[in-house]
A and B are shown apart, each in its own frame.
Chain A
């Protein structure tokens, strides 16, 4: 049963520290998405990739956030320096943009980040 995996599942860190979240998309999927979920803002798209190339990162605060796909099996989201307002659940999702009528996205379990 193919799944998107994310590590770590939980992260507590102090303000100012660097945070790196990792995602392994489903093998063969060519699109990867990073979302952030908070009570106030709901689910927001931060960035997404197609065939490892960044397509849209307009939802991401550029001064502290960065997203990369070093290879097809790994996507990373970094926050440096972290701030308390970054506390949220960060979801990674992957999908296919061809050969499917729905282009549905499969979500990982999320990383719950708390910045104190």
Chain B
């Protein structure tokens, strides 16, 4: 079964608009962490934002925020005021367990975001 599901293979958004990238996850572990990574055309993987399963507040990092709905098992990434440089692949990932050694990430298939001028 898919642990991380990103249902939007591609999205097109006008510059300066906000965009929401969807991510749902599946786990029975009460302790987990959710990550978003950006992969521009150059290929590197850039960490954007993290949400822990016990965090009370939704994570925010600059223009990035994570809409964490635990009961729905969703962790959508919101990018406010999109810029041309936001065009990239975006991956949602999950780490199950918060004990030492349980660090491996499971990635979704990604969403390709294109920002139009």
Contact = CB atoms under 8 A, between A and B. Distances in A.
Contacts, number: 56
A11 interface: no
B101 A89 contact: no
Contacts of B46: 107
Given A42-B108, A97-B100, A109-B44, 6 more contacts: A42-B110, A97-B101, A101-B50, A104-B50, A105-B103, A105-B105
Contacts of A101: 50, 52
Contacts of B100: 50, 97-98
* Interface residue tally on B, bucketed by range: 20 to 34
Interface of B: 33, 35, 37, 43-47, 50, 52, 91, 95, 98, 100-101, 103-110
Given A42-B107, A50-B103, A104 B45 contact: no
Contacts of B98: 103
